[in-house]
C-alpha cells in the first residue's frame, strides 16, 4: 500500500512544539494587553453564509478568492477576516451591547488565494475594534493605536521594537478636491500613492494619470503636509486632526509614531485616519498590522449607523516569518517540562502516579515515563531528550520509605527527600 503524504496542504501552517510554545506565548501576551484594556473577546463562527461574506453574485469569481461550498440550498464560506462577522454580530445584538462597544478576536481565517511566502490559506489574525452608534469620538482612534502599540511591546523580547506610521484619508480627500480631481482620478492616485515605494517612477506614473497636477502631490512628500495648512478649510481641518492625534499618542506614552501620508490602507474602506505598524529590526516584512476609522461598518445588516475604528494584526504572517528565518531565540521555550517521573518497575507505578498527581496539584509541569519495564538508562535518556530540568526516580526503596529521589539534570546531583520537600524545592527552582 502506498503511504499517504505527511506534508500539509500548501498554504497551511504546522509548527514544531518549541515554535508553537513561542507562538502561543506571544498570542497570550498580546491578548492579555487587550483584556486589560477592557476589550471583550469574541469567538465568532468560522463559517458564514455566502451572502454575508460578499455582495458579489459571480460564484466562479468568489470561489477563486475564498473557500466556498454548498450544503443543500445554502451557500457558505469560511471567514477571510474578522470584520464581516463582527458587523453581522453587532447588528444582531444592538440591544444587548453597551456602546461604545470594544471587542477583539483572535481566530483562524481562510483565503483561497494562491499561497506564497507571507500569505497563507489558513492563518491567525487578531482584530480589535471600538464601535459607536451614529457617532464615535476621534479619541478612540488614539486609544486603538495606543493599545495595539502596548500589545506589540509585550512581545518585544521576541519580535523587537515597532514603529507606527499614520496617514489621513481626510487630508487626501481635501487635497484631491483642491486639485479638482475626478472620482476616478482620485481612486487611481490613491492606488499609486499606496504603491509609491514599489514604483520605479512614482512621479511619472502620477503624471500619466493627472498631468501637471502630479507636481502638487509630490510637494506633499517633499515639503511636508504642514505647508498646505492654509490652502483650504478642509485641509486645515484634516491637518489639525492629525496634529491633535499625534499629541494624544504622545500623552498616552506612544513615542514611536510619525505622520507618513504614503500610508493609504484600503482606499474603498477607511474614511479617517489610518495607521500601520512596522518592525524596527525587520522592515522588509512590511506592515505587520494596521487599521483606521470606518464610517459605516454594518450598512448591509442594519439601518442603524455603526461607526468604528479598528485594527488587524497579521499574527501568523509575522510570527511564521521570524520563526522560519530563525530570527527568534527559542532558548526559553526549549525546557517547558520541570520534572520527569520515572517508575523503576511495574510495582512502583501506583506510587509514581500518586507522586505525579501531587506535582500537578502544585502546578509543576511534570511528565511520567510509564514504560516501567524499561531500563534506567532508557528512562533517563527520555528525560534528557525532553529537556526536563529534574527527574524524580521512583524505585522500590522510595515506595517502601515514602520518599522520592530527585535528580538535577544539569548538574547530575541527586538527593532522596520526602515528596513535600521535593515539591518545595521545585517551586523555588521555577
* 209-219: pLDDT as tens digits: 899 998 988 99
Answer yes or no: is 175 within a domain.
yes
pLDDT one-digit tens code per residue, 318-328: 999 999 999 99
Angle subtended at Cα 261 by Cα 259 and Cα 263, rounded to the nearest 5 degrees:
100
Domain boundary among 324, 345, 374: 324
Closest CA to 166 of 191, 189, 146: 146
CA–CA separation, 308 and 233 (whole Å): 25
> Residue 423 is part of a domain; what is its CATH number?
3.40.50.800
Answer yes or no: is 277 within a domain.
yes
258 with 341, same domain: the answer is no
Answer yes or no: is 10 within a domain.
no
Percent of residues, the chain, with pLDDT higher than 70: 97
390 with 286, same domain: the answer is no
Parent domain of 392: 336-429
pLDDT one-digit tens code per residue, 80-92: 999 999 999 999 9
Answer yes or no: is 93 within a domain.
yes
292 with 183, same domain: the answer is yes
Domain boundary among 282, 297, 324: 324
Region 347-376 average pLDDT: 96
> Residue 44 is part of a domain; what is its CATH number?
3.30.930.10
129 with 197, same domain: the answer is yes
Region 355-373 average pLDDT: 96
Question: For the sheet containing 101-110, what is the strand order?
Answer: 40-41, 101-110, 122-133, 306-313, 289-294, 273-279, 162-168, 257-259
243 with 374, same domain: the answer is no
CA–CA separation, 386 and 414 (whole Å): 19
418 with 305, same domain: the answer is no
317 with 343, same domain: the answer is no
pLDDT one-digit tens code per residue, 247-304: 999 999 999 999 999 998 875 678 899 999 999 999 999 999 999 999 888 888 999 9
Amino acid at each position: 500500500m502506498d503511504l499517504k503524504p505527511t506534508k500539509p496542504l500548501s498554504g497551511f501552517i504546522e509548527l514544531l512544539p518549541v515554535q508553537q510554545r513561542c507562538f502561543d506565548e506571544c498570542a497570550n501576551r498580546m491578548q492579555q494587553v487587550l483584556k486589560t484594556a477592557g476589550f471583550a473577546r469574541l469567538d465568532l463562527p468560522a463559517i458564514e453564509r455566502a451572502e454575508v461574506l460578499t455582495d458579489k453574485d459571480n460564484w466562479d469569481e468568489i470561489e477563486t478568492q475564498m473557500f466556498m461550498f454548498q450544503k443543500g440550498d445554502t451557500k457558505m464560506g469560511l471567514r477571510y477576516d474578522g470584520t464581516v462577522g463582527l458587523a453581522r454580530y453587532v447588528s444582531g445584538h444592538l440591544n444587548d451591547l453597551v456602546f461604545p462597544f470594544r471587542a477583539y478576536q483572535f481566530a483562524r481565517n481562510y483565503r483561497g488565494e494562491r499561497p506564497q511566502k507571507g500569505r497563507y490559506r489558513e492563518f491567525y489574525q487578531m482584530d480589535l475594534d471600538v464601535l459607536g452608534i451614529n457617532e464615535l469620538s476621534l479619541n478612540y482612534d488614539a486609544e486603538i493605536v495606543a493599545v495595539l502599540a502596548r500589545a506589540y511591546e509585550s512581545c518585544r523580547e521576541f519580535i523587537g521594537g515597532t514603529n507606527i506610521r499614520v496617514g489621513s484619508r481626510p487630508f487626501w480627500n481635501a487635497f484631491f478636491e483642491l486639485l479638482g480631481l475626478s472620482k476616478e482620478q482620485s481612486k487611481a492616485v490613491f492606488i499609486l500613492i499606496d504603491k509609491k515605494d514599489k514604483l520605479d517612477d512614482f512621479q511619472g506614473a502620477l503624471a500619466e494619470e493627472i498631468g501637471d497636477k502630479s507636481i502638487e502631490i509630490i510637494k506633499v512628500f517633499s515639503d511636508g503636509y504642514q505647508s498646505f495648512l492654509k490652502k483650504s478649510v478642509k485641509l486645515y481641518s484634516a491637518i489639525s486632526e492629525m496634529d491633535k492625534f499625534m499629541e494624544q499618542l504622545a500623552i498616552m506614552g506612544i513615542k514611536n509614531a510619525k505622520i507618513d501620508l504614503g500610508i493609504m490602507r484600503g482606499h474603498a474602506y477607511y474614511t479617517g485616519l489610518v495607521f500601520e505598524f512596522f518592525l524596527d529590526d525587520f522592515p522588509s516584512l512590511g506592515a505587520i498590522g494596521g487599521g483606521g476609522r470606518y464610517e459605516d461598518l454594518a450598512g448591509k445588516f442594519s439601518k442603524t449607523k455603526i461607526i468604528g475604528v479598528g485594527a488587524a494584526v497579521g499574527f501568523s504572517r509575522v510570527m511564521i516569518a521570524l520563526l522560519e528565518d530563525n530570527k527568534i531565540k527559542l532558548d526559553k521555550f526549549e525546557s517547558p517540562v520541570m520534572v520527569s517521573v520515572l517508575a523503576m518497575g511495574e510495582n512502583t507505578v501506583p506510587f509514581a502516579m500518586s507522586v505525579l498527581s501531587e506535582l500537578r496539584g502544585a502546578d509543576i509541569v511534570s511528565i511520567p515515563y510509564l514504560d516501567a519495564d524499561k531500563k534506567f538508562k532508557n528512562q533517563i535518556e527520555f528525560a534528557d531528550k525532553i529537556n526536563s530540568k529534574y527527574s524524580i526516580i521512583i524505585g522500590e526503596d522510595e515506595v517502601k520509605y515514602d520518599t522520592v529521589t530527585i535528580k538535577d539534570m544539569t548538574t547530575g546531583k541527586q538527593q532522596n527527600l520526602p515528596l513535600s520537600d521535593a515539591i518545595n524545592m521545585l517551586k523555588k527552582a521555577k
